């Protein structure tokens, strides 16, 4: 799995969660992300609230275009993004390839480097 492949992919309906091998491969590419409590997660830091909200809005655009929405916890100068796919594992949820796609696209947001 390569970052370019994730960036060019689109989310689709999935019923199977990622295997441990797929998760390990994805985390090697998405090195700033981690798996915590069955979710793909990363915290972003910003200079101020304005930059934080610009990032949140950019994430919302990705979420809407991919029809795959994260949980976000927003503070003054930080945002934690958490992804999991509720439809996999017969509705029990888990991390899927869609989560990797969106994580890569979020890492590609220029404002996240602020």
Length of the chain as a residue count: 114
Which residues does 96 contact at the CB level (< 8 Å), separation at least 6? 14, 16, 17, 18, 84, 85, 88
Fold of 16-108: Gyrase A; domain 2 (3.30.1360)
Considering Cα of 34, then 94, then 82, then 38, what sign does the dihedral take? negative
pTM check: above 0.85: yes
- For the chain, the structural domain boundaries read 16-108
Instruction: Report pLDDT digits (tens) over 16-63.
Output: 899 999 999 999 999 999 999 999 999 999 999 999 999 999 999 999
Residue 105 host element (H or E): helix 97-107
**Is 111's pLDDT higher than 80?**
no
| Helical segments of the chain, H only | 3-8, 20-29, 49-66, 97-107
């Amino acid at each position: 799995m390569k970052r370019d492949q994730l960036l060019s992919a689109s989310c689709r309906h999935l019923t199977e969660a990622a295997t441990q091998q797929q998760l390990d491969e994805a985390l090697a590419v998405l090195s700033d992300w981690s798996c915590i409590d069955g979710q793909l997660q990363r915290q972003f830091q910003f200079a101020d609230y304005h930059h934080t909200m610009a990032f949140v809005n950019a994430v919302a655009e990705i979420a809407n275009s991919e029809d795959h929405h994260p949980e976000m916890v927003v503070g003054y100068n930080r945002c934690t993004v958490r992804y999991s796919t509720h439809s996999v594992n017969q509705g029990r949820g888990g991390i899927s390839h869609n989560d990797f796609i969106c994580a890569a696209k979020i890492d590609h947001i220029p404002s996240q480097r602020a």
